[in-house]
A and B are shown apart, each in its own frame.
Chain A
C-alpha cells in the first residue's frame, strides 16, 4: 500500500468529475472501485486533465489510464509539477 497522498489539485479535479468526495480519491482508486467512473466519465476526465495541466495524452494510451496512480505517473512523465 502506498502512503503517498494524491496531490490536492488532481484530487479535487477527479472528485468534481466523478462526483465523489475528495477523500474518496486515493492512489489506488480505479475505474473498478468507483461506480461513476464509466467510459464517458473517463473521456470527460481526460479532457479536464488535459485542459487543467496543458498536456495531451496519446489517444492509444488513454484507455490504459485506469487508476489514479497511472494518471499521476503519466502526468509526472510529461513534466507536470503537481501541487
Chain B
C-alpha cells in the first residue's frame, strides 16, 4: 500500500514534468517509477510519457534518435514499451516500425519493401527456430546426426545470404537475434548431454555460425539471447502458453531484461567504447590501506580476501589486453606505492608497467583525471573511474559528469568484477590490431612528451622523432578502422561526418573519389592508422568531404602531410582548385583554422547561412600544400615513386 502511494506520487510528478515540458524530470521520474515497480501498467505509462517527450529528450538530453525497423516472425508489440524505456536509459529515442509476420524475407531482400522505404538507421531481426531451422528438432530426435550438419549449413547460408544481399543495397545497422537453446526435448537431459547431435548442441552450433556471419557483415551485431535466457533462467524465459497462443517469444517477466539486451547490442554499433579505466588503490585494487596496514598488510594474492582483489586485477589485465588503458588514481605516497608493487609483485596480477599512467598524490582525484585526459589527449567521456570511497566517487561525479563512476563495494569486494562486467561502457563488437597496440602507443606518447621538453626547437624535436607516414586506401586500412576513426574522432575533424562502412564504400566507389587513410609510425612506436581523408573531383575542382586525424598525433605535421598528399593526387587527376569545408561542432575548435593555416582563403557565405559552415579554397596551380620536411612519406602513389 505504501509503495502504491509512492507510485502515485511519482506518476503525479511525471505528469507535472510533462506539463512543463521538462524532459530531464520526465526521464528521471520514469526511471524511478520502473525501478520501484515491475507492474506492466507503470512501464506502459512511463513509455507513453517518454514518447510524448521524445523531441525534447533528443534536444535537451542529447539522445540519439534511431529510425528502427523490426523484422520479425514473432509477436513484439507488448515488448515495445520496455524497448522505449531501455533505449531512453541508454540515451536513445527510437522511432519503431514493426514489419509483417510472414514477410521478413521480402522485407529484407526487396529493395522497394516497406523496410527500404522506411529508411531505417537500425534493423533488428527477431526470428525463431521455426523460421531459421524448423527441421532441426526432427533431425536431432535420435541424436545420431544424420542430415544435421547439412541442415545447419543450409540454415546459416540462407541467413548469410539474406544479410549480405541486404547490405548491398542498405547501410542500416543490423542486429540479428540468435536462438535460445531448447530446454525441453524428447531426448531429455541425459540424451542431450551425451549425444553429439542433440538439439541443444545443434542449436549451439547454429548460433556460432550465425555469430560468425554477423561479424562478416559490415555494421552487424549478433544478439546472444541464449546468454540472457540462461542468466534469467531458461524455464521462465519462455511462457509456452503465450508462445503457442500469441507467438510471444519471451515471457512478460523477462521483457525488461530482453529489451535491455537488444539496446546493449545495438549500442555497440553506434557508440565507441570508453578507453580508460582509472582505478583507486586502497580497498579497490588491493584490500586495506597501504599507509596504515603497510606493504605486508595489504590484501592481495591467492587467499581470501586478497583473492577478491586479485580477481579484479586479473579482470583489469584482461581489459588491457584488448586495448582498454589502465591508470592509477590514488591518494597515497608515490614512493610507498612503487615499493608495494615491487615487494608484492608475486601477489599482484597487474604491475606498474600495465598502467599507461599513474596519478599518485594527495591532490583532488578530479584534477588527476582531468590531467590524464589532457596527457592522453582523450576526452573525459572516454574515462571510467573505480573507487571504494563514496565521497571520492561523488566528487568526481559532480566535477566531471562525463566520467562514468563505479563505486567499488567496500564490504563485498567479491562483487566488483560482476558490477563492472554488467556495464556496457567497454562493449565492442569488434577488436582491431590498433586497439590491441594502444597501450604501447600511449606509452610512447609519454616518452615523446619527455623528449619534447628536452629538445630545442619544435622542428628539431619533430625531426628527431623520425616520423613516417604511409598512405593506404581507406577501404583497405582496413575498412573497419576507417569507420572506427570516423565514428570516434571529434577534435581534429573538419566536417564530423559519421559514415558507416557501407557509406564509405559507396562514396569511394567512384573513380573521381580519393579515400585515403594514413598510417603513422616513429622511432618510439607504431600509432597505426590514425587519419582519413575523403575527397571528390568535380570538373577541375576537388572537394574535401572529410578530413580527420586522431587527436593523439595532432601537432606533428601529419595533417599537413595528409593534405599535401591529397592535393598532389588531385592535381594528377586534373584538379586546379581545392575546396575545403569546416563544420563547427562543440568539440572541433582545435582544427577551426586548419584551412587558413594552410594558405586557403575563405569563400564568402550567403547571408542566410547561419549554421557556421565555412568553405575555403586554394589554387592548386600556384599554392599547392607541401608536406613538412621532417616527415618521410611512403605507400601507394606517394610523390617519391
Contact = CB atoms under 8 A, between A and B. Distances in A.
A59 B39 CA distance: 21
B75 A52 contact: no
A16 B44 contact: yes
A62 B248 CA distance: 15
A40 B247 CA distance: 12
B44 A59 contact: no
A48 B42 CA distance: 10
A56 B245 contact: no
Interface string B45-77: 100100000000000000000000000000101
**B contact face: mostly helix, strand, loop, or mixed:** helix
Contacts of A48: 39-41, 44
**A contact face: mostly helix, strand, loop, or mixed:** helix
Nearest to B40: A48
Given A19-B48, A40-B77, A59-B246, A50 B252 contact: yes
Contacts of B81: 44
Nearest to B81: A44
B48 A44 contact: no
A62 B75 CA distance: 16
A17 B40 CA distance: 9
Interface string A44-83: 1001101110001001001000000000000000000000
Nearest to B38: A51
Given A16-B48, A19-B48, A44-B78, A52 B40 contact: yes
B154 to A, nearest CB: 33
A13 B41 contact: yes
B241 interface: yes
A41 B95 CA distance: 18
Interface string B228-272: 000000000000011011101000110000000000000000000
Nearest to A12: B41
Given A59-B246, A62-B245, A43 B48 contact: no
A47 B40 contact: yes
Nearest to B252: A47
Given A40-B77, A44-B77, A51 B245 contact: no
Interface in A1-53: 12-13, 16-17, 19, 40, 43-44, 47-48, 50-52
Contact of B41 (A17, A40, A43, A59): A17
Contacts of B245: 59, 62
B127 to A, nearest CB: 19
B39 A52 contact: yes
Interface of B: 38-42, 44-45, 48, 75, 77-78, 81, 241-242, 244-246, 248, 252-253
Interface of A: 12-13, 16-17, 19, 40, 43-44, 47-48, 50-52, 56, 59, 62
Q: Which 10 A-B pairs have the closest CB atoms?
A: A59-B245, A48-B40, A40-B77, A13-B41, A16-B45, A51-B40, A16-B41, A44-B78, A16-B44, A47-B252
